[in-house]
């Protein structure tokens, strides 16, 4: 296997790195402190194709592979992990629209979403349906040429500031087979937004509940067909897990870079703290775990690009490993900074806070273990082990 990046991939990384350094990193501290959602930066990202990375060129995207996209997201996360994560979520929602919406809906939304002038939210989680997504209760009832939507969604990234909601709703009976997916304009009558949640991290993007009260939506806004919603949601999450793992790698990589510089300059007992074996061993473990995480994510992205039969377990393993290990790297970076790591003058505490939620969203890491174990135990020929 060739682990080297090709010329195009190197160019993608370089472009994303420059964008992160020029447009994300300088404002990341301000966005975090002010809990701001900077729409202008997403328009700038749209100019480079980052708001439609793996969307087909037919729908105004740049048609990258999931591996190429993960390379970009990792670089963006080094500048502002929270903003990179929102770009990932926007791409996930847009991709679902691109693949399953009817032509008229695509004509209405694709240009705006690709340019970053319009933003999308992915709406699955509910107040009573988190890890058990198949138990969601938001209901869409057919009424002539429309659906009438009632219910609520929780912890929705970008809610209140985005323009299109890709929503999982119940159109049939209980369980996964009764779920459908529908695209709803965020300014539709009957939609209201709760208070902006005050969060540990991810402060550059708003998060709140969304309530739907007799919201009328054209039946033509249905993605795929009735009953396909859970399949679409899980399909989207395979890629979402790669993206969020890539965000963790970006955060951990930036934290390690800052720590190497700090530890080289910091003097204690008359010498740099990098002269102490304990510091050297910690840095060595941080780099080793970062590299292992990066390779797992790239393998999972390759599996998804290849539509391999085992793509889901590889996405779950990569997400579980990378988000756990990279959070530990951020924690070790903070520890090596000592008291300085705990104050906001240094960026380490922000990477630490922003990376923590990655172990929860796109399926908690406990759910990742359920998926991995289930696939392993179903593997009667032990191909996964061999």
What is the tens place of the pLDDT at every residue in 9-36? 999 999 999 999 999 999 999 999 999 8
What is the tens place of the pLDDT at every residue in 187-237? 999 999 999 999 999 999 999 999 999 999 999 999 999 999 999 999 999
Residue 323 belongs to a domain with what CATH number? 1.20.140.10
What is the tens place of the pLDDT at every residue in 100-137? 999 999 999 999 999 999 999 999 999 998 888 899 99
> Do residues 291 and 260 both lie within one domain?
yes
Q: What was the pLDDT predicted at 21?
A: 98
As a whole number of angstroms, the distance between CA 367 and CA 63 comes to: 30
> Do residues 285 and 171 both lie within one domain?
no
> Do residues 182 and 262 both lie within one domain?
no
pLDDT band for position 1 (50/70/90)?
low
* 236's tokens: 């989207």
> Do residues 250 and 372 both lie within one domain?
yes
Q: What was the pLDDT predicted at 278?
A: 95
The DSSP element (H or E) to which 223 belongs, if any, is strand 222-223
Instruction: Please report whether residue 181 resides in a domain.
Output: yes
Which entry of 44, 362, 366, 378 is annotated as an active-site residue?
362
What is the tens place of the pLDDT at every residue in 253-308? 999 999 999 999 998 899 999 999 999 999 999 999 999 999 999 999 999 999 99
> Do residues 253 and 194 both lie within one domain?
no
Residue finishing a domain among 59, 85, 119? 119
> Do residues 272 and 340 both lie within one domain?
yes
> Do residues 364 and 246 both lie within one domain?
yes
pLDDT band for position 383 (50/70/90)?
confident
Across 53-65, average pLDDT: 97
Q: What was the pLDDT predicted at 343?
A: 96
Instruction: Please report whether residue 386 resides in a domain.
Output: no
User: Does residue 113 contact residue 120 with C-beta atoms inside 8 Å?
Assistant: yes
User: Does residue 209 contact residue 157 with C-beta atoms inside 8 Å?
Assistant: no
Instruction: Please report whether residue 281 resides in a domain.
Output: yes
Residue 144 belongs to a domain with what CATH number? 2.40.110.10
* Active-site annotation holds for 362: yes
> Do residues 236 and 373 both lie within one domain?
yes
Number of helices followed by number of strands (H, E) in the chain: 11, 10
Based on the structure, what is the number of domains in the chain?
3
> Do residues 81 and 185 both lie within one domain?
no
Q: What was the pLDDT predicted at 164?
A: 98
Instruction: Please report whether residue 384 resides in a domain.
Output: no
Instruction: Tell whether the model's pLDDT for residue 84 goes beyond 80.
Output: yes
> Do residues 135 and 159 both lie within one domain?
yes
Mean pLDDT check: name the lowest of 181-190, 276-285, 377-386: 377-386
> Do residues 219 and 254 both lie within one domain?
no
Instruction: Please report whether residue 385 resides in a domain.
Output: no
Residue finishing a domain among 195, 227, 259? 227
Q: What was the pLDDT predicted at 126?
A: 95
Q: Comparing C-alpha atoms, which of 251, 92, 79 is closest to residue 166?
A: 92
Residue finishing a domain among 89, 119, 149? 119
pLDDT band for position 182 (50/70/90)?
very high
> Do residues 248 and 369 both lie within one domain?
yes
Can you give the residue range of the structural domain that contains 209? 121-227
What is the tens place of the pLDDT at every residue in 129-170? 888 889 999 999 999 999 999 999 999 999 999 999 999 999
As a whole number of angstroms, the distance between CA 330 and CA 248 comes to: 9
| SS3 at position 55 | coil
Instruction: Please report whether residue 1 resides in a domain.
Output: no
What beta strand segments (E) does the chain contain? 120-123, 139-143, 146-157, 164-170, 179-185, 191-193, 207-218, 222-223, 267-268, 271-272
Instruction: Please report whether residue 180 resides in a domain.
Output: yes
């Amino acid at each position: 296997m060739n682990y080297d990046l090709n010329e195009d991939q190197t160019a993608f990384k370089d472009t994303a790195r420059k964008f992160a350094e020029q447009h994300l990193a300088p404002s990341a501290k301000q966005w975090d402190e002010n809990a701001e959602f900077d729409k202008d930066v997403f328009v700038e990202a749209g100019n480079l194709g980052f708001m439609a990375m793996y969307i087909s060129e037919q729908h105004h995207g740049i048609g990258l592979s999931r591996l190429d996209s993960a390379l970009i997201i990792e670089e963006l996360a080094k500048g502002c992990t929270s903003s990179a994560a929102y770009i990932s979520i926007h791409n996930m929602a847009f991709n679902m629209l691109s693949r399953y919406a009817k032509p008229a809906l695509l004509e209405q939304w694709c240009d705006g979403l690709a340019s970053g002038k319009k933003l999308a939210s992915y709406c699955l989680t509910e107040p009573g349906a988190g890890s058990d997504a198949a138990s969601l209760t938001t209901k869409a009832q057919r009424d002539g040429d429309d659906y009438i939507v009632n219910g609520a969604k929780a912890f929705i990234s970008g809610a209140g500031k985005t323009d299109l909601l890709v929503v999982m709703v119940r159109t049939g009976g209980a369980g996964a087979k009764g779920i459908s997916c529908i695209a709803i304009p965020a300014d539709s009558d009957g939609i209201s937004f709760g208070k902006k949640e005050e969060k540990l991290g991810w402060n550059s993007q708003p998060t709140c509940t969304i309530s739907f009260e007799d919201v009328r939506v054209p039946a033509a806004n249905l993605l795929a067909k009735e009953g396909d919603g859970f399949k679409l949601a899980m399909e989207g999450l395979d890629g979402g897990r790669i993206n969020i793992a890539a965000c963790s790698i970006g955060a951990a990589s930036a934290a390690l870079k800052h720590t190497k510089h700090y530890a080289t300059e910091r003097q204690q007992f008359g010498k740099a703290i990098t002269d102490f074996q304990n510091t050297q061993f910690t840095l060595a473990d941080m780099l080793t775990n970062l590299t292992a995480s990066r390779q797992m994510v790239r393998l999972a992205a390759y599996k998804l690009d290849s539509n391999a039969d085992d793509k889901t377990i590889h996405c779950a393993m990569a997400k579980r490993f990378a988000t756990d290990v990279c959070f530990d790297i951020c924690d070790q970076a903070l520890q090596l900074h000592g008291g300085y790591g705990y104050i906001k003058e240094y960026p380490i505490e922000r990477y630490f806070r922003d990376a923590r939620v990655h172990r929860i969203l796109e399926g908690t890491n406990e759910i990742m273990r359920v998926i991995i174990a289930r696939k392993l135990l179903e593997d009667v020929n032990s191909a996964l082990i061999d």
